[in-house]
Chains A and B, each alone.
Chain A
Amino acid sequence: MNRPLLTLLYTGMLFLSISGLSAQGKHTINGYVKDASSGETLIGANIYLENDASYGTVSNTYGFYSITIPDGKYRLIFSYLGFQSHVEEVNLIQNMAVNINLSPGIEMQEVVVEAKSEEEDDNVESTSMGRVNLPVEQIKIIPALLGEVDILKVIQLLPGVSSAGEGSAGFYVRGGGADQNLVLLDEAVVYNSGHLLGFFSVFNSDAIKNTTLIKGGIPAVYGGRLSSVLDIQMKEGNNQHFAAEGGIGLISSRLTMEGPIVKGKSSFLISGRRTYGFDLAQPLIAKTDFAGTNYFFYDFNTKFNYQFSQKDRIYLSGYFGRDVLNFQQQDRDFTFKLPYGNSTATLRWNHLFNDQLFFNLSAIYNDYQFRAAFEQEEFAFDVFSGVRDVGLKFDFDYFPSNEHQIKTGFHGTYHRLTPNIVTGNAGETEFESSVKPKYANEFALYIQDDWKISPWLKINIGLRGTMFQQTGPYTSKITSDSFGSGEVVKTYSSLEPRIFVNTSLSPVSSLKAGVTATTQYLHLVSNSSSTLPADVWVPSSELVAPQRGWQYAIGYFQNFEDNTYEASVETYYKSLHDQIDYRESFVDNSVDQVEDEFVFGEGQAYGLELFLRKNRGDINGWIGYTWSRTERTFPDIENGRTYPATYDRTHDMTLVTNYNINDKLTAGLVFIYATGRTYTPLERLYLIDQQLQTDYGPRNSLRLEPYHRMDLSLTWTPKPESTKKFKSHWVFSIYNVYNRKNTFFTYTDFETDLEEGTATAKAYKVSIFPILPSITWNFKFQ
């Protein structure tokens, strides 16, 4: 990190913290907010004074809060959506720790009246923009494809987020590419978040506590991707008593076990999920020529934590998941094996230096591996690619006063990116592609202050400084110089300001505006309409510059009827620089160095998003609507013609509703309508070698017909009143209720007989998911 940048960041931090140091006659209340039934910490809980909500704060990622207020007697309210609020009477004459356990359930009437429901207007009060928090309970009641609850598919129902394709867990945010989303699982980057070509995500909802999507104002604490942050936290494990939950579905079955190791102090969580469709079919497959063929995927999540004291606790969490495809054809002596997947591990230490200074140290490891191996008699062919990161992260949360909440920290990562390395043999001859893994260091230093300037004006100002070094071993493609291990080949750096302003127009409405600068040093360029497991991540290097982006957003936020309804209108403009695509006529032979096939260009995206959400009542849910444009311009693609990106959607509307019919029955409905995907049309035919070939028109110049679909679900709990430890419920769902045939892909089929002078040319549209009912049985033991 260069010296001026360091100086700037830390001067800023000192300046901002001065007001905190001068807090005389004030004391601090701090502690953790937890779920009373499980001991899980609650992220984003609101803590504020009953008589003056301008004194308030929000619990951080670890459930910790700290609030510094003038001495006196107060009623302090703790609230969290879906939990009963808690009022704590405090007589503040010295710093004090207050740990609060909230019980799941509806609001206490007393608090609703007295506190005027201030607890739920975080969307209006906070400086954050384009940020949506989804507790996993909300995700679980939304209808799911084949009953498989999927976090990534639920976030696609939010305005500004679109799906990569029918049934896909891949997503695009505000005109950014699929690789421009930072997907974090307990702080570890997940490089490929899809199973089965992306139809299902790798996140087992039983092991997940909380999901936050940031599509607009990315705070300085996050970086490394241009478009969005999807921050997923795993459950910590129940530290009160042993509990288990699981389910049996059409696609997979799940089992999660959790419980205290030392009650109240330490807990564990183990969670697994596996598909079994092909396992059940094995007896049938064994009788065919394809005996030995199988496909399955699985996920394994685990987490342990230990609280040494009020000041120190550690967490160790891990994820391991794989897709495994084995294809065998006996009479051709052919085998094809395709295992791929992620593993992540995070070790965290939380430490309270004092009542106002919270510290977290994380050691993070993640590894994505892809392998494809073919074998037929004397010929063998093996492709391997992957990304492995080892990182260290320091974060300080400093709560100097009610006016300031400062976060600062450092993040360093060592990357190893393995492109498609091919090895194989044809008889005695062995061959190996000449491409080698690439290595890089990535550093980031950030500081941000959530600053309440006045009761009506808040600002979140942040700066993130980043540096990226391509390192050896490497031989330059430009100068042919050789670089030894760790030797720096190329350095890039960037200063990324992040500024968000919130102006309160009334207690229930606010106007927000923000500017976000982002830099992305790792890239995944896909030649397909969606990303695939074989797509390769490449680092910025002497051949590839980092992608850079600026986003400007402005939004109006208003809550109605005691915060039963929340509404927002947000508009954004994004400029994207050094965007990457494959050159025209690129042929993916999976062995070349892909950087040689890249071309570079610019992009822009702009749009308007409307969001109306009903948080309470027997009928709740949301409506989202997005109008947007996403364009790309590459000098080397069609001579610089500006074209709409593959994921450009003019209109995108979603309706998500839940209806609590009675204690036993809950119904869910999802409706989606979106402008058709762009595609490159075939325009002409011509003969080569007496066969018809296709001449394509301009890139993405036509659209498929609009996409729309409705899904329904019904959750039936036969004995809701049961006091037994074992409880179960059934989920019946129907995907694509009215059997809409949404085009998934198109293809052509030509038959030419030039001698006869005849040819038939057929073009087809294929849709994949018709009406699909499913049934899932879920249970809980606690």
Chain B
Amino acid sequence: MRIKYSILISFIGLFLLTSCEEEYIPVRSGDGPKYVVEGYIEAGEKPFPPYVILTRTLDFFSEIGPEEFNNSFVHDADVRVSDGTLEVTFTEICFSELPPEIRNEVATQFGFNGDSLQIDFCVYVDPLNQLNPQIGKTYDLRIMTNGDLITASTTIPQHVPLEDIHFQAPPGEPNDTLAALRVGISDPPGVRNFYKYFGATNGSNYQTSFSSIVEDLFFDGKSFEFQLYNPATTMSDVEPDVFGLYIVGDTISIKWTTIDEAHFDFWNTLEFSNANQGPFSSYTRLQTNIQGGLGIWGGYSVSYYDLMVEY
């Protein structure tokens, strides 16, 4: 869909033969750091407890180490989430404060290997899931820290499940070790729907794919089938001919979510910004729903699909 991007990729090859690049150090801002919120709240199947990661931005250094990351976490903030009737104060958990056996388990939940984790990751959570998030409800986030107020609001929309999930042979030359994942949905008519997915392979953590979001601009109210890339093969270092494909014999899991518009806009600008660098492109500011900072407070309605890669 990123038409300009594709065109540029095609053209730029013509000029790269003569181009020359030089590293430079960007000028540092004199305005100091900003707050960054990354918080999610899930409802539906196997919901992950709501949590908020509160950090400060980092200056541009060409090498960033554990100390800079550790110092970026904002501690002792007053983090509250309200659904309109119930307000829950989140508890700050830093991994270094947890007993080793719990620490490893929690780290795994957040996508880390607890044994090798080199930073003291801190997160504000609702550990007892007192909020019990529900589809259709709106959740307001309110953070007070060092006299600064940060707020945000998100809605967990109605869920639209995947219907037909199957693997098929990849396009192009026959290859029986790789597979493309095709899925279908029946998009509800008359409302704008926004979707995002995550993928996990052989029990790994759920990863975000390149091009992980889609809206129903084209297929509002239709039954629509499309391809879902394998996050593990959309990294920049994979060979072009395996890009987005799955390996036959693996077991994979898809976490399929429906999100609200502001949440979609955040990921949409993030993916566009990351993909759209280079000549002719302009900068893209990530669209945030956070008042008083950067980042995202996003609601998900979730369903999971586990299957073997075969066709």
Contacts of A426 on B, CB cut-off 8 Å? Answer: 224-226
Interface status of A534 (Cβ within 8 A of chain B): yes
Q: How far is the CB of A385 from chain B (nearest CB, A)?
A: 10
Do residues B112 and A755 form an inter-chain contact, with CB atoms below 8 A? yes
State in angstroms the CA–CA spacing of A579 and B279 once bound together: 24
- CB pair A429 B171 closer than 8 Å: no
Name the A residues within 8 Å of B59 (CB-CB): 684-685
- With both chains docked as a complex, state the minimum distance between the C-beta of B261 and any C-beta of chain A, in angstroms: 13
Q: Contact between A528 and B24 (Cβ–Cβ < 8 Å)?
A: no
Residues of chain B lying within 8 A (CB to CB) of residue A764: 21-24
Which range holds the interface residue count of chain B? 35 or more
Cα of A682 to Cα of B117 in the assembled complex, Å:
29
Contact B36 A686 (CB under 8 A): yes
Q: Which of B108-131 contact A (CB under 8 A)?
A: 111-113, 116-119, 121
Decide if A686 touches B58 in the complex (CB within 8 Å).
yes
Q: Cβ of B273 and Cβ of A694 under 8 Å apart?
A: yes
> In the complex, are the beta carbons of A758 and B225 less than 8 A apart?
no
Pick out which of these stretches binds chain B: A53-61, A484-492, A502-510, A743-751.
A743-751
Chain A's nearest CB lies how many Å from the CB of B153? Answer: 18
Closest to A377 in B: B171
Q: Are A196 and B11 in contact, with the CB atoms below 8 A?
A: yes
Q: CA A433 – CA B70 in complex, angstroms? A: 47
Q: CB within 8 A of B112: which of A681, A754, A770, A772?
A: A754
Contact check: which of B4, B6, B222, B279 meets A745 at CB < 8 Å? B279
Let me know if B10 and A766 touch, CB within 8 A.
no
The residue on B at minimum CB distance from A758 is: B65
Minimum CB–CB distance for B52 against chain A, Å: 13
Q: When chains A and B are docked, how far (Å) is the Cα of A426 from the Cα of B6? A: 19
Q: Is the CB of B117 within 8 A of A338?
A: no
A592 to B66, CA, bound (A): 43
Residues on B with beta carbons closer than 8 Å to the beta carbon of A587: 265, 268-269, 272, 284
Output the least CB separation between A377 and chain B (Å): 4
The answer to whether A591 and B217 touch across the interface, beta carbons within 8 angstroms, is yes
Of B27-35, B134-142, B143-151, B303-311, the segment with at least 4 beta carbons within 8 Å of chain A is B27-35
Q: Enumerate chain A residues within 8 angstroms of B2, measured Cβ to Cβ.
A: 588-590
**Which chain B residues lie closer than 8 Å to A333 at the CB level?**
171-173
Interface string of B237-279 (1 = CB under 8 A from A): 0001100000000000000000000000100111011100111
Query: Taking the complex as formed, is B286 at the interface, i.e. its CB lies under 8 A from any CB of chain A?
Result: yes
- In the bound assembly, the distance between CA atoms of A431 and B224 in angstroms comes to 9
A9 within 8 A of B: no
Minimum C-beta distance from B89 to chain A (A): 24
Which chain A residues (21-37) contact chain B, with CB distance < 8 Å?
none
For residue B240, which residues in chain A have a CB less than 8 angstroms away from its CB? Answer: 329, 332
B281 close to A528 (CB less than 8 A)? yes
Query: What number of A-B contacts does a CB cutoff of 8 Å give?
Result: 250
The reply to whether A772 and B20 contact each other, CB–CB distance below 8 Å, is no
Report chain A residues within 8 Å CB of B158: none
Q: Is A427 an interface residue (CB 8 A)?
A: yes
Closest to A431 in B: B218
Q: Which residue of chain B has the shortest Cβ distance to A528 in the bound complex?
A: B280
CA distance A590 to B21 in the complex (A): 30
Task: List A contacts of B69 (CB < 8 A).
Answer: 687, 754, 757, 759
A336 at the interface (CB under 8 A from B): yes
Query: In whole angstroms, what is the CA distance A427 to B11 when docked?
Result: 29
Q: Are A696 and B285 in contact (CB under 8 A)?
A: yes
Chain B, 38-65, contact with A by CB distance < 8 Å: what is the 0/1 string? 1000000000000001010111111111
Q: Please, which residue of chain A has its CB at the minimum distance from the CB of B286? A: A693
Nearest-CB distance from B92 to chain A (Å)? 17
Chain A, 431-454, CB within 8 A of any chain B CB: 431-433
B60 contacts A372, C-beta separation under 8 Å: no
A423 vs chain B, min Cβ distance (A): 10
Contacts of B280 in A (CB 8 A): 197, 528-530, 532, 745
Q: Are A769 and B282 in contact (CB under 8 A)?
A: no
B72 an interface residue at 8 Å Cβ cutoff? yes
What's the nearest-Cβ distance from chain A to residue B101, in Å? Answer: 19
User: With a CB–CB cut-off of 8 A, which chain B residues contact A744?
Assistant: 19, 279
The reply to whether the CB of B191 lies closer than 8 angstroms to some CB of chain A is no
A-B contact pairs, 5 of them (CB 8 A): A197-B11, A331-B172, A433-B217, A687-B72, A748-B277
Closest 10 CB pairs of A and B: A757-B66, A684-B57, A683-B29, A757-B118, A585-B287, A528-B280, A377-B171, A757-B119, A333-B172, A745-B279
Residues of A at under 8 Å CB distance from B?
A: 165, 196-197, 295, 325, 327, 329-334, 336, 338, 372, 374, 376-377, 379, 381, 383, 420, 422, 424, 426-427, 429, 431-433, 527-530, 532-534, 584-592, 680-690, 692-697, 702, 741, 744-748, 754-770, 772
Q: Given A429-B219, A686-B57, 18 more contacts at CB 8 Å? A: A197-B11, A329-B240, A332-B241, A374-B6, A426-B226, A528-B4, A528-B280, A528-B281, A532-B7, A589-B217, A590-B3, A756-B116, A757-B118, A758-B63, A763-B60, A764-B24, A765-B21, A766-B19
